[in-house]
Amino acid sequence: MSLSTRLRKSALVGAALTAVLLFSGCASDAPAHDSGASTETSSLLPAAEGKTEYPLALESPYGETVLEERPERIAAIVPNGVDTELLLSLGVTPVLNSSMISEGGYLEAHGASKLETYEFVRGEDVPVEAIAAAKPDLIVTVGWVPGFGEVKDIYDRLAKIAPVVTSPAPDQRMIPWQDSIRILGETLDLSDAAEAVIAEHDELFSGIRAEHPEFAGKTATWAIYYGPANGLQYFSQNGSAPELFLTDLGFSPNPNAAEFAQDTMVSDELIAKIDADVLLLGQSEATTPEEMEQHVTGTELFMNLGAVKSGKFIQFPPKAEDGGDLLWAITSGGPIGNAWAAEQVAPMIAEKF
């Protein structure tokens, strides 16, 4: 099966998800409650599979809440929107989402513009009042990672609104989306649906690896330049979403990744450590081409990297031709973004071999 055929298959799945969202938009604002044993589909989530038993204890590092019955009104409050992406891939329509879901662009095809959002402002807390106003019966924070504050700082306030499902390892820099979607699948009685999303992802990337055996065993680096103030950042650390994306494509982990486990900043002294068989470099929208050349790509240190000399260096624009954000899709890490990014990136890399 060719990459284009597989991506058409993914597009069909996306169309089905969009249909779910359109249906929810036309349905009653007060759907009948689903006890968890029902086989009927509500306006906000698919029919229960009958595998999860309620009441369900939702344990977390900060406390425990109890989900008395299968929820319908689900608030996905993680600022970067990855939980919204996971819920959409399950056919679930969250009643509240971060405004940042629009930043990646690729979720627009899945009805993201029709979702209710709260306005997230970087550096500020998630607005608990807005969450309460959405009247959720479940609050999802499984994809929360450091960089957007801490769940522990607001957990008690959230738990007073509705049961809260969290990640069991909140201090990880990046939580594999497969772990998160399995947690959501169990919580929402959609475990089979969660496994189907994972299986589709695995099939897609298995096909890409078969189509591009030249990627096998080669190392790759994913880095982003954020302008003079924040500099060049190494983002394919061990266990990160970009590293998992690259290994899914067939690449091997970069042995130098450990250098950036605690601090992602790439100083002049460390720039040789970003070298790899393939070097993928992105830039923030606020960065000008002149800044990129002056501070990164035009410097002698950068031009002496092996990947640059061998021609296996790819510089990504802030936005793809269809308006999607590759940096967001790969760095945030979710099944919809990964499939879309693979369509863009795999051919670009293959041209360098």
Q: At a CB cut-off of 8 Å and minimum separation 6, what does 26 contact?
A: none
pLDDT value for 90: 97
Q: Which fold does the domain 212-350 belong to in CATH? A: Rossmann fold (3.40.50)
pLDDT value for 39: 43
pLDDT value for 146: 64
pLDDT value for 223: 95
pLDDT value for 295: 94
| All CATH 3.40.50.1980 domain ranges in the chain, comma separated | 3-199, 212-350
Question: Which class does domain 3-199 fall in?
Answer: alpha beta
Q: How far is residue 277's CA from residue 305's CA, in Å, rounded to a whole number?
A: 10
pLDDT value for 25: 36
Q: How buried is residue 349: exposed, middle or buried, by Cβ count under 10 Å (0-12/13-18/19+)?
A: buried
Q: What pLDDT digit, counting tens, does each position of 278-323 carry?
A: 999 998 888 888 999 999 999 999 999 999 999 999 998 777 777 7
pLDDT value for 6: 41
Listed as ranges, residues in the chain with pLDDT below 70 are 1-42, 146-148, 170-174
Q: How buried is residue 181: exposed, middle or buried, by Cβ count under 10 Å (0-12/13-18/19+)?
A: buried
pLDDT value for 100: 85
